[in-house]
Structures are given as structure tokens and as C-alpha cells.
Structure 1
Amino acid sequence: MAFSNQDKPSPLGPPGTGGRPSTWRVVLILVVGVLAVSTGAIWVRLALGLLGGSGDLAVTLVMAAARLTVAALLLSGNWRRIPRQATRRQFAGAALSGLFLALHFAAWISSLSYTSIAASTTLVTTTPLWVALISWLALGERLSLRTCLGMAIALGGGGLIASGEMENAVAGSQPLLGNGLALLGAWIISLHLLLGRKVQQEGLGLTPYITITYTVAALLLLPLPWLLGGGYGGYPPLFYGYLLLMGLLPQLLGHTSLNWALRWLSPTWVTLAVLLEPVAASGLGFLVFAEVPGLEVLLGGLVVLTGVAIAVLGGRETGGDRDQ
């Protein structure tokens, strides 16, 4: 979910003016982006299923590295233009953002080995809460009462999810660890988003930004499976097909579509749209794996998403889109 406030657009202005696309086109691409991102957990679970249903850290890092490597390779043609588009400061910022992106995927993909798709995708989608909290602590941005209320509601929902996952844990699962990794992924991606927003506000365009970020993240992750005694060979052929799909759909199509939508819609509306990701991912989890979350998990997910929505809208009301 690489959201960056590259421009300061309001919701769509008159279509066809200033190069603006039509409303239906932006909404369609935003929906496609959310659906594409929602498939990420499914490809991970299908890949893990080929290996017996769970993976060690080396396997997790193989999937994270492959996802980003596929996207980086498809963007590699942009490198020859980057020296003319990025200052050293912008390049360093985008590279550091890539480090946070690599850590995010290592944590979040690992969470899917230990907890349900519904819990993992709901908790990792709490990112706007942590962006607001970090902005308050590190940047001095003001938090509205509504934003604080939304945070409190979301944290309560997170407690329900944790309780429900513990009660319905199956043999071999570690829901507390999985939920913790999903939350860790949300915290880390918050740093990625804040840094990405800053770099793009300083003038670096979307294409050079994602090219640098995806490439750095891939390069950081690629050697780690070997260092942990694993590698990239010896998996079933279908496993590599799932790796390719991870890079093409949730990463390149999904994240890039969301970033593109931010050029024409405010970050508030894009953030709210992304709250549909856990709903779509859970629906796909039911269709593909017949995975039915427990009542507490479903209720907790609803409470979390409600809290995030309240917090996002509260930030918009008091600080405009700069708080997102």
C-alpha cells in the first residue's frame, strides 16, 4: 500500500480538464488496485500449501524477495532516466523507503504462516493509525479527538481478533505470533509511506520512486534466504508460478494502481477504499480455502475497520489531506 501525497488533489475535478481522466476511469482503476492487492495473501497461502501449509523464515523471504524482484525487473527500463529525475537526497530517501518496504513484506508474509487471512489482512491494514501516531510523535502533527477515538476503537477490535484467533487456533498455528507479525508489518509500512510521501513531495515522480524503492527492497531481500541456509531452487514448478503472480498482481498492478489513483483522488478516499482489502481477501480465502473466521475475528475486523475509518475521516476534518 504505497500511498504518497505526490500532489494535493481534491476529489475529481471536471473530467477532461488539465489532463484529468474521467471519474469512472479513476474509480475503476482504484477498485482494480484494491482487488489486486487483496490477492496477495491468497498467492502466499497457495504457495505455502505446496510446502505443507507453513514455511520457515527462509521460505518467507523467498516469497518476499521474488514478489519485489518481479516488479523491479519489469520496471528496470526506467533506470536510464533516473539520474536526470532524482537528486541524491531524493534517491537516498527512496532507497531508505525500499528498506522499510523489504522489512514490511518479510514480516507480513511471515504472519500468514501462523494466523488467518482475515486477521492478518485486517491488522496490516491498520497502517493509517500508525501513520497518524508517528506523524504526531515525530513530526508534531496534531491529532484530532475523532482520530484518537478511532485509534481506541481499532485497538479494541484488535483485541477481539487476538482473542478469537487464540480460541480457534488449530494445531501447529501460532496466532499470537502471526497477529504480532501482521501488526509489525503495519508499523514498518507506515515509515515507508511517510518517507515516500516526503520524497515525492520534494519532486520525485511516481515512476522513478517505485523503480528505486522496489529495486532496493528486492536487492536487500534476495541474499537472505541463502544466508539462512535456504535458496531459490528445489520447489515445485507451481510454486514459481505463484511467485510470479505475487509480483504481477498485488505488487505491480495493485500498488501502482493505488499510487496512480492518488494523483487524482485525495489520500483520504484512497485510504478508505483500501479498507475493503481485508473484506475482499477474506472472501477469497473462503472461496479458495473454505476458511471461515470465527465470530470474534469477524466482529473484531469490523470494529478495527470502523475505527480506522473514523480516524482517517477525523484527520481529514481537522488537518485536511496533509495528515494522511
Structure 2
Amino acid sequence: MTSRVQLPLVLTLGVLAVSCAAVLIRFASNAHPEHTPLFSLVVAAGRLTLASLVLLPFTLRGLGRQKLSRRAWGFTLASGVMLALHFMTWITSLSYTSIASSTALATTTPVWVALIAWIFLKTPPSMQTLAGIGVALAGGALVAFGQDTTLTAPNPLLGNMLALVGAMCAGAYFMLGRQAQHEGVPTQLYAGLAYGAGALTLLPLPVLTGVGYQAPLEAYFWIAMLALIPQLIGHTSFNWAMKRIDPTLVTLLILLEPIGSSLLAMLFFKEFPGSQVILGGVVLLLGVAVASYPTRSRAQTA
């Protein structure tokens, strides 16, 4: 398959896969009899554990063939820890706020990618990027402080803040993963190691917080679907693309996720966001699109 066909196909598949994540998480959480927000730790740990177990044979084979440098190990493991923090905060946010608000705020990832590149890679953003960041922050404020009256949003402000922290962690995860792959870690091996590091970070937390791993089989079915579709298909697709094109272009496509997630939330949960959330989401996505859209100089560099 030529790269001209392969790249758009992989990215399209990745967007469709991650759009299912919020709905699958809500199904898993609703299957727990106590509906406790702490069950999000089980969902996050289960998602990464199952994904890393599926990839384990390929990971072991890759380690046998590829000798990684200390820097490569460092970037890979750090990326996995940031992925764990991303899931811990973002999945928990879905217990407090609406799917539309949570996924809209989670897509500010490109803003944090640009800021991380500025601070750590000494790549200053253009005026276009800065303007887009300003618009995105204004939209994010509208979403974060919008009054959400849906039954599934018991504490919108807390949930929105958790989603925003999750987006910051996701930005660090993507950039660390990009650095790991530039250090020579193949995409498949990187995915297995990063998902495994994230799983090991999260696995003790349900026990330490007292929620435990006891849950109906239905909950684990949805967790398995979460590991298979958004994680193995969605995230791995984006990690594969990160090495081949400008990372901001990849994260730009993630802006399509809130649209699909919101439509699924309306279909399955009758969850209709308020007017301020919709307005804020539109402004936020517009700002992120402006911040992430490649200028001619950036396109030449990519």
C-alpha cells in the first residue's frame, strides 16, 4: 500500500476508534453496581493491561531483536506514565461531567503539544499558533464553566478540570512517544512498552483506594472493548503516524473525536449539552484548529 493511501487510511481508522472511547467508558462505569467514580481507576488499569497483554508476544520479540539505548528506555517509560495519568484523570472526568464537555476539553492536546515543544524543544510557536491558543483557552473557559444540567454531570466543574489535566498529560505522552521513536524504538515495540508501563503505574491504585477489582462481567466486557478499539487500534494508529508527520497534524485530527463522541452520547444516553457548552466547544475546536494548522514553514519542516 502506498504511503499516500496508507497514512489517511490509518488516521481515519484511528479517529473512528477513539471516538468510541467515552461511550465505552460510560457503559463500563454504569455496569458497576455502586457507580463509584473510583471505578474509573479499574477501567483505566484494565484498558492498558489488556492492551499490553495483547501486544506482549510482539513486545518480547521486539526486545529480542532491538537493543534500546538508555535514552530510548527513559522516553518510552516516561511516556507510559504520562499515558496512565491521562487515563486516570480523563476517565474519572466522565463520572462528573458530560461526554461532550469532557471530550471537547480533552482535545486541547495540540495546544499542550505546542507549548511543550516551545519549552523543552526550544521551538517557539508562530503568531498563528499563539492566536489559536488564545481562542482555544477562551472556548475552554466557556465549556469548563458552562452550566451542565444533564443527570450524568453531578459536578461539571470538577469533571471539566480533570479533563483539562488529562489533555495536558496526553500532550506530554505524545511528545515523549515521538522522542522515543526518534531514538530508534519501533512503533509496535514502543506501544507495547508504553502501554505496559502505564498499566503497571495504574494496577495498584484500585487496591490502594479500596475500590478493588470486583465488578460484573459486563463491566469487564466493555473494558475489553475499550482496550481493543480505542487503545490498540486508535492510539497505536496515532503513534504510528507521529513518527511520519508533524505531531500537531496528528493531534489536529483528534478534534473530530468530540463530534463522534457527542453524537453517540445523544444516541445512547440522551445526553444533550447546553448551549454554552456547545458554543464553547465550537470556539475551543476553532482555536485548536488555528493553533495546529500548519503554516508553510512548518509544512516544509515536517
TM-score category, normalised to shorter length: over 0.9
Corresponding position of 1:302? 282
Residue in structure 2 matched with residue 257 of structure 1 by the alignment: 237
Q: Which residue number in structure 2 is paired with residue 270 of structure 1?
A: 250
Bigger mean CA offset, 179-188 vs 252-261:
252-261
Q: Report the counterpart of residue 134 of structure 1 in structure 2.
A: 116
Q: Does residue 71 of the first structure (1) align with residue 51 of the second (2)?
A: yes
Q: Residue 28 of structure 1 aligns to which amino acid in structure 2?
A: L
Which whole-Å CA distance do the structure 1 matches of 2:174 and 2:253 have between them? 16
- Offset, 1:49: 1.6
Aligned counterpart, 2:69: 87
> 1 CA distance for matches of 2:210 and 2:148?
34
Counterpart Cα distance in 1 of 2:150 and 2:212: 30
Deviation at 1:265, TM superposition (A): 4.9
Normalization by structure 1: what TM-score?
Answer: 0.86
Shift of 1:171: 8.4
Structure 1: how far apart are the matches of 2:121 and 2:219?
43
Query: Higher mean Cα deviation, 135-144 or 293-302?
Result: 135-144
Q: Are the counterparts in 1 of residues 118 and 124 from structure 2 also a CA contact under 8 Å?
A: yes
> Which residue of 156, 169, 174 maps to 1:188?
169
Unaligned runs of 5+ in 2: none
Once the two structures are TM-superposed, the CA of residue 53 in structure 1 deviates from its matched residue by 8.1
Change (3 A) 1:291 1:74: same
Stretches of structure 1 that go unaligned for 5 or more consecutive residues are 1-15
- Counterpart of 2:217, as a letter, is P
**Residues 1:130 and 1:222: Cα distance change in structure 2 (over 3 Å):** same
Residue of 202, 217, 226 corresponding to 1:246: 226
Q: Aligned residue for 2:262?
A: 282
Deviation beyond 6 Å, 4+ runs, structure 1: none
TM-superposed CA distance for 1:192, in Å, is 1.3
Q: How many residues align?
A: 300
Match status 1:202 vs 2:202? no
Query: What is the TM-score when the length of structure 2 is the normalising length?
Result: 0.92
State how far apart, in whole Å, the 2-side matches of 1:49 and 1:212 are: 30
Contact persistence 2:95–2:153 (CA under 8 A): no
Deviation digits for residues 161-208 of structure 1, max 9, x if unmatched?
A: 1232x3536587111100000000011111111111111112111011
Question: In percent, how many aligned pairs have the same letter?
Answer: 45
Report the equivalent of 1:5.
Answer: none
In 1, the alpha carbon distance for the partners of 2:229 and 2:298 equals 33
